[in-house]
A and B are shown apart, each in its own frame.
Chain A
Amino acid sequence: MIELTLQFLSFMASALLILIGIAGMLFLDNLIKKIIAFTLLSDGVNLALVSLGYFEGGVVAILTPGTSVAEFPQNAVLIFGPGIVLTNIVIGVSTTAVLVALTMVLYKRYGTLKASKVLKGERK
């Protein structure tokens, strides 16, 4: 039997977010909604990476006044995931900006936000 810890629940939430993101990016017709689904997908991946390093009773991996030097390395959470996630968030922001800009250009040319109409190629 799997224990319902916070780590397990976060993993499940991130799996759900990844599923929702993929489904939204594939099956929704609106371009803006596809972009929102993309941000949800990247949120899910970030959550999975962060919850990788967590364990019960850990401490934040930043030295604060009064920390015990000897116990800190054993108690601190794994710092590898957050280090990657910070980069991931940045890349998510710039990718979203480019996607929205391209969507605005598509709207200008086709007069619609529906991906199916854009794919048919009817100019406005």
Chain B
Amino acid sequence: MITHISFWVFAVVAVLSGAAVFWVNSMARASYALALSFIAVGLQVLLLHQNYIGVVTILMMVMEMAVMAVYMVMFMGMNPALMPMNMVHDKRHALAAAVGAFLLLAAGAVLIPWPARRGTPPAGVTVALGEELMGPKMLVMAVVGAVIAATIVAGVVLAAHRTRYDRLGDDLRRRPANDPQPGGVGR
């Protein structure tokens, strides 16, 4: 009973705060509304007995949204004053597409005769996930790890202004490096 009630509460919170992302005027509120939506979804995933995934969703997404809000304040000069920002284009078509997608997906969800459950959930879901990842599905994890490492490198290259040649000189020998803000290690 409690499970059902909380499922519906989380569902309503998730969808409403998701809608609020595009409803509120301030971008900071938008990103924290999205964070709230993710928290609700994470808790729903907890209810669906996937503790690790649920908590990790909350962890990752709150962090991301915190970063996103800072990003917007820094680059877009958002101050807390609620500036009405209505930056949409092609609102009608987008709305139509969204409603269409919802009807299609909802019809699918309700009308498709879903098969019965195969198998039973493992006793320790998280343990099973860990063993799966470090066993049969290790390739997936290895690939994901490599992709994330590549993302870090690519992201830094794209976003960074200065290269090591700017810091250390053309022959990379300058010590300490020429930084506008010296670091704390004294390299």
Asked if chains A and B come from one complex, the reply is: no
Chain A residues with CB under 8 Å of chain B are none
Binding site for A on B (CB under 8 A): none
